Structure 1
Amino acid sequence: MTTVKSSSIGYPRIGEKREWKKALEKFWKGASTEAELLAETKALRLDGLRKQQEKGIDLIPVGDFSLYDHVLDTSIMFGVVPERFLTTDEESALETYFAVARGSKNAIASEMTKWFNTNYHYIVPELNEITPILKENRPLAFYKEAKEELGIEGKPVLLGPATFLKLGKGYAEEDFSILLKKFLPLYIQVLQELQEAGVQWVQVDEPIFGKSLTKEDISLIRQVYVAINEAVPGIKLILQTYFETVDCYEELVNFPVAAIGLDFVHGDTLPLLSQYGFPENKVLAAGVIDGRNVWRADLEKKLGLLEAIQLYVDKERIIVQPSCSLQHVPVTKRSEETLNPILQDALSFADEKLEEVVALVKGLQGGEEQIATELKASKQSIDNLNSSKYRQSPVSENGAEQLSANRSLPFSERIIEQREVLQLPLLPTTTIGSLPQTAEVRQQRSKWRKGDITGGEYEQFIQHEIKKWIEIQEEIGLDVLVHGEFERTDMVEYFGEKLNGFEVTKFGWVQSYGSRCVKPPLICGDVSFDKPMTIKESVYAQSLTEKKVKGMLTGPVTILNWSFVRDGIPRFDVLNQIALALRHEIEELEKNNITVIQVDEPALREGLPLSRDKWEDYLHAAVYSFKLATASVQNSTQIHTHMCYSDFKDIFDAISGLDADVISIETSRSHGDLISTFEANTYDKEIGLGVYDIHSPRVPSKEEIKGNIDRALKTIPANQFWINPDCGLKTRQEPETIAALQLMVEAAKEVREEQLVKQG
């Protein structure tokens, strides 16, 4: 009988109830030892492997687990550690590892940015003037562990050389070939040692092929794989791509590797097989189960897709797998007992997706009769959802077309009105929105949700926190204040709980960065405004001070990109539904005299398709939805927005096109890189480039903050520049937050005086 293999590309590392996060944070607080941390995380790692083994996965990934980030793991493995961390007094290699990611008292953390078009963040390798060396064969250690502990003949996972280097910084583009030559012997050594240990299959992740590469790059990368094949001819490599259709398909499928992994969910890969075929001497690892969304697969359609693939690839040369690592979805839906049964049945998290993969292998192997039960259950769950209340309250599709998506005056004219009303000093100071959420805040929210305290008692507690922090902000001397968002669990989930068309899970966590996990809400129906969501807290905060308090909302693009979005209708239609709902809320804020309103879009750049051919449509839709949400306010009302770590030069025109009066950008770890974008382009609105990094548990010096301000002012006129931290302060401790903000305000005042003297 023909054998079809099943495979997993990667498994969530965080545990069903975020046990990984808790273990990490306990260690960082000094409440556990290094040995205890490693023991706890090993147990989690083995549990994930065991589950994949029990579900019948043939090729189980090993080495995809991480204590922080898999790109950082690769840097450490190859000795790519910035010199500033080698001169610190860290006590162990693990302390150095975390210092690179989080910073230390002696060194600023390495830059962090988005992993392609996902909400996962990686630590950017610093590749300037390095001499790489293999410090530890990490995939080999995990392979041996899986084999010795569980008897699993695992598939080691290795971040490929092209992707690793393309994701790095600190070198000129023309030096890419030089770096490839430096790292090639190390990759060969890793693979030789794996082969000597008896490894059969190795997954080499090269998602960079989902982006547009030059012909020269493709040629250079091919030479690397030719050299690897010559040096380690006996090992079977799966060159794994994901997140997008491969532009250079013809060249890639002829690389000298045993298998090519392609994404058949995101992008349009099947026509490439039809047009160009597939080599007869290679295996196709077909990513047919969506690794980035949580809806149950229509197994009949997926089986049809695999049968279509068989027209070009023999059955015995197909591996069935998810489209990408399952780290982008929650672990299991079995804990979601509180969800509506119809909705719960329609979900598929990581564990369930593996079951879908195994079912498809059986179907491909023996036909539909082999999985008749699974096919029936799949169809029934989808039909039940489509006929449920979630899909029976359609929003008017004409709503957006009847409304203006443009402010009534251009920025150059309305900023005059705003400055007259706001009366802010030169270089005004503010924060991004959230303030520290202490253990007490989380405990009180938990008590309220469990019914241990009343809604009135919880509201009183929230007001106490708002009042306390309004007073702190006034004492520090900030110019524009925030209410602190103490009532919010998460900047997207909070709105998901209040808008029609959403549901929220209890344990649907995914990793965002480090130990930070988020719980994306489910967009399961048409989205619409129900009732005011932020008015009560904003109005209360504004009543406590003469200074302006910002209304705080999450923007439509970010709500879309950080949710699990319904299938069946175009994503841009869902986007406009969200924008219309937010427009209602913004108008309510303005009616209640909240006239500085921040609509955050940290995920705008993240959602940019990897293929440049799709950029224009996406950016047009993103800009339109933001303007649709914000355009109805008075000219004197000031609209702010905020964005996170990204390569902003790619979307500079779109940032300006949002027509926000003020934009703040998270940039302190890559301050110089971002400012160079503004040196090369003229930006005519107001802007705040984050002047210190909030993701590191350290208080910056005043000199460090002033240095960042001064660098920005060489490019951005002082009357356009705001001073703020680079992101929200929710995850920081109160003492460090207060200390850092005090230094920020002091630095701002000193630079302000210097600027006023210059201006005469």
Structure 2
Amino acid sequence: MTKLLPTSTAGSLPKPSWLAQPETLWSPWKLQGDELAEAKQDALRVSLQEQQLAGIDIVSDGEQTRQHFVTTFIEHLSGVDFENRKTVKIRDRYDASVPSVVDAVSRQKPVFVEDAKFLRQQTTQPIKWALPGPMTMIDTLYDAHYKSREKLAWEFAKILNQEAKELEAAGVDIIQFDEPAFNVFFDEVNDWGIASLERAVEGLKCETAVHICYGYGIKANTDWKKTLGSEWRQYEQAFPKLQQSSIDLISLECHNSHVPIDLLELIRGKKVMVGAIDVASNNIESPEEVAATLRKALEFVHADKLYPCTNCGMAPLSRNVARGKLQALSAGAEIIRRELSV
């Protein structure tokens, strides 16, 4: 990546209304069979064009082909029973009905590889692909088989590594692992969470990223954020070990959050995807607001390692709002590029 301050998104973008219910998480598909397969590809094309028109440098599929960033991957694995559901508390925040692990987990076939090949055919730009991280996967399940979060995470890490290697072969430039659970289970993160993430990236030659945020702008998350006080220091727990890890990029939430910007010092030397767009608000940032966040980050991240990004996925937002936010991200990054070139 030669361009200074290349922009990207953290993950999901809104789906068109003909594919799924807009502004809704876990929204069911409106089509089925071959019609659904074709509609997903059409939505991927539209999402790609939205990013390109907004000036996004590192593009993605906008997660158009999946209902949810974790469960859509898990649905394709054996050993998980989606009929036998249990209610669990996800990330210590909210109850959800989740599938159960009833046997050894394994991946019978690729999950996202064909979608990634399709995206690769549509563009010559660098592409990023998001996968759920091992710890966030185990936090979205009921485990009736391994009876050990660490053992299950390790099995998922091996499966994710198989998928990641095939995504790399399909032409993906950056593979990102989403680990919002890293902001919650601090002892486990340092005991085995980062180690299992390292297992997931083993042998990859493409760039790797981990995305850690405070979640979509849904009520359970915004209510939780209100309990965190005036300073959100959760990153302090995982950053020192991540700084020592083999992960290339760390994607985090900055704008409109209470994360002290000086925590970036803990990952100095890493490439950092700085979240300069608030996904929990319908207010569209001004380019200058984005630039202000990036300026602060530049005190701790060298310009050639700074990647302007969104705080999290934008699936629950309207397409108009998401479009405006992407344009603001690009324009704000351009302000800083001009300042740096003077």
The TM-score, its normalising length taken from structure 2, stands at 0.85
1:42-191 to structure 2, matched below 5 A, reads none
Kindly provide the CA deviation profile for residues 449-491 of structure 1, in whole angstroms up to 9, marking residues without a partner as x. Answer: xxxx4x2111100011111111121111111001111221111
Q: Which amino acid aligns with 2:43?
A: E
The whole-number CA distance in structure 1 between the counterparts of 2:160 and 2:303 is: 32
Cα 1:509/1:669, change in 2 over 3 Å = farther
Identity %: 26
Q: Does 1:627 align with 2:198?
A: yes
Residue in structure 1 matched with residue 288 of structure 2 by the alignment: 703
Verify the 8 A CA contact 1:579 1:625 in the aligned structure 2: yes
1:294-309 to structure 2, matched below 5 A, reads none
Among 261, 273, 290, the alignment partner of 1:675 is: 261
Verify the 8 A CA contact 1:445 1:458 in the aligned structure 2: no
| Aligned-pair CA distance for 1:555 | 1.1
| Aligned-pair CA distance for 1:512 | 6.6
The whole-number CA distance in structure 2 between the counterparts of 1:585 and 1:706 is: 36
> Secondary structure in 2 aligned to 1:722?
strand
Among 273, 280, 296, the alignment partner of 1:688 is: 273
Cα 1:511/1:442, change in 2 over 3 Å = farther
Residue in structure 2 matched with residue 642 of structure 1 by the alignment: 211
The whole-number CA distance in structure 2 between the counterparts of 1:703 and 1:696 is: 17
The whole-number CA distance in structure 2 between the counterparts of 1:577 and 1:606 is: 21
Kindly provide the CA deviation profile for residues 17-39 of structure 1, in whole angstroms up to 9, marking residues without a partner as x. Answer: xxxxxxxxxxxxxxxxxxxxxxx
Verify the 8 A CA contact 1:665 1:690 in the aligned structure 2: yes
Q: Which amino acid aligns with 1:677?
A: L
Cα 1:682/1:696, change in 2 over 3 Å = closer
Q: Does 1:458 align with 2:40?
A: no
Q: Does 1:602 align with 2:180?
A: yes
Kindly provide the CA deviation profile for residues 478-529 of structure 1, in whole angstroms up to 9, marking residues without a partner as x. Answer: 110011112211111112211122122598677879xx98653322221112
Q: Which amino acid aligns with 2:317?
A: R
Cα 1:632/1:711, change in 2 over 3 Å = same
Residue in structure 1 matched with residue 327 of structure 2 by the alignment: 742
**Number of equivalenced pairs:** 318
> Secondary structure in 2 aligned to 1:520?
strand
| Aligned-pair CA distance for 1:569 | 3.3
Among 654, 660, 676, the alignment partner of 2:247 is: 660
The whole-number CA distance in structure 2 between the counterparts of 1:511 and 1:699 is: 32
| Aligned-pair CA distance for 1:597 | 1.2
Q: Does 1:437 align with 2:15?
A: yes
The whole-number CA distance in structure 2 between the counterparts of 1:751 and 1:435 is: 25
Verify the 8 A CA contact 1:664 1:687 in the aligned structure 2: yes
> Secondary structure in 2 aligned to 1:655?
helix
> Secondary structure in 1 aligned to 2:4?
coil
The whole-number CA distance in structure 1 between the counterparts of 2:12 and 2:136 is: 16
Cα 1:510/1:707, change in 2 over 3 Å = farther
Verify the 8 A CA contact 1:477 1:745 in the aligned structure 2: yes
Cα 1:741/1:568, change in 2 over 3 Å = closer
The structure number with the bigger radius of gyration is: 1
The whole-number CA distance in structure 2 between the counterparts of 1:713 and 1:447 is: 44
The whole-number CA distance in structure 1 between the counterparts of 2:163 and 2:247 is: 17
The whole-number CA distance in structure 1 between the counterparts of 2:83 and 2:12 is: 22
| Aligned-pair CA distance for 1:607 | 2.0
The whole-number CA distance in structure 1 between the counterparts of 2:302 and 2:212 is: 20
Cα 1:732/1:511, change in 2 over 3 Å = farther
Cα 1:557/1:682, change in 2 over 3 Å = closer
More helix by share: 1
| Aligned-pair CA distance for 1:734 | 0.2
Residue in structure 2 matched with residue 100 of structure 1 by the alignment: none
Q: Which amino acid aligns with 2:41?
A: Q
Q: Which amino acid aligns with 2:286?
A: S
| Aligned-pair CA distance for 1:694 | 0.3
Q: Which amino acid aligns with 1:574?
A: L
Verify the 8 A CA contact 1:438 1:733 in the aligned structure 2: no
Verify the 8 A CA contact 2:261 2:297 in the aligned structure 1: yes
Residue in structure 2 matched with residue 569 of structure 1 by the alignment: 147
Kindly provide the CA deviation profile for residues 579-630 of structure 1, in whole angstroms up to 9, marking residues without a partner as x. Answer: 111111011112222232112212123122xxxxxx3x65131111111110
The whole-number CA distance in structure 2 between the counterparts of 1:525 and 1:578 is: 13
Verify the 8 A CA contact 2:277 2:290 in the aligned structure 1: yes
Cα 1:562/1:655, change in 2 over 3 Å = farther
Q: What's the C-alpha RMSD, in Å, of the aligned pairs? A: 2.5
The whole-number CA distance in structure 1 between the counterparts of 2:99 and 2:120 is: 29
The whole-number CA distance in structure 2 between the counterparts of 1:499 and 1:585 is: 11
The whole-number CA distance in structure 1 between the counterparts of 2:124 and 2:48 is: 11
The whole-number CA distance in structure 2 between the counterparts of 1:734 and 1:618 is: 35
The whole-number CA distance in structure 1 between the counterparts of 2:260 and 2:140 is: 24
The whole-number CA distance in structure 2 between the counterparts of 1:587 and 1:580 is: 11
Among 72, 78, 102, the alignment partner of 1:494 is: 72
The whole-number CA distance in structure 1 between the counterparts of 2:8 and 2:151 is: 34
The TM-score, its normalising length taken from structure 1, stands at 0.40
Among 302, 314, 333, the alignment partner of 1:729 is: 314
The whole-number CA distance in structure 1 between the counterparts of 2:97 and 2:71 is: 7
| Aligned-pair CA distance for 1:562 | 2.4
RCO comparison, higher one (Cα < 8 Å, 6+):
2
The whole-number CA distance in structure 1 between the counterparts of 2:88 and 2:330 is: 35
The whole-number CA distance in structure 2 between the counterparts of 1:503 and 1:589 is: 26
Residue in structure 1 matched with residue 238 of structure 2 by the alignment: 651
> Secondary structure in 1 aligned to 2:102?
strand
The whole-number CA distance in structure 1 between the counterparts of 2:146 and 2:163 is: 27
Residue in structure 2 matched with residue 592 of structure 1 by the alignment: 170
Cα 1:730/1:756, change in 2 over 3 Å = same
The whole-number CA distance in structure 2 between the counterparts of 1:592 and 1:626 is: 21
Residue in structure 2 matched with residue 49 of structure 1 by the alignment: none
> Secondary structure in 1 aligned to 2:282?
coil
Verify the 8 A CA contact 2:88 2:141 in the aligned structure 1: no
Unaligned ranges ≥5, structure 1: 1-422, 609-614
Q: Which amino acid aligns with 1:699?
A: I
Verify the 8 A CA contact 1:493 1:519 in the aligned structure 2: no
The whole-number CA distance in structure 1 between the counterparts of 2:89 and 2:317 is: 18
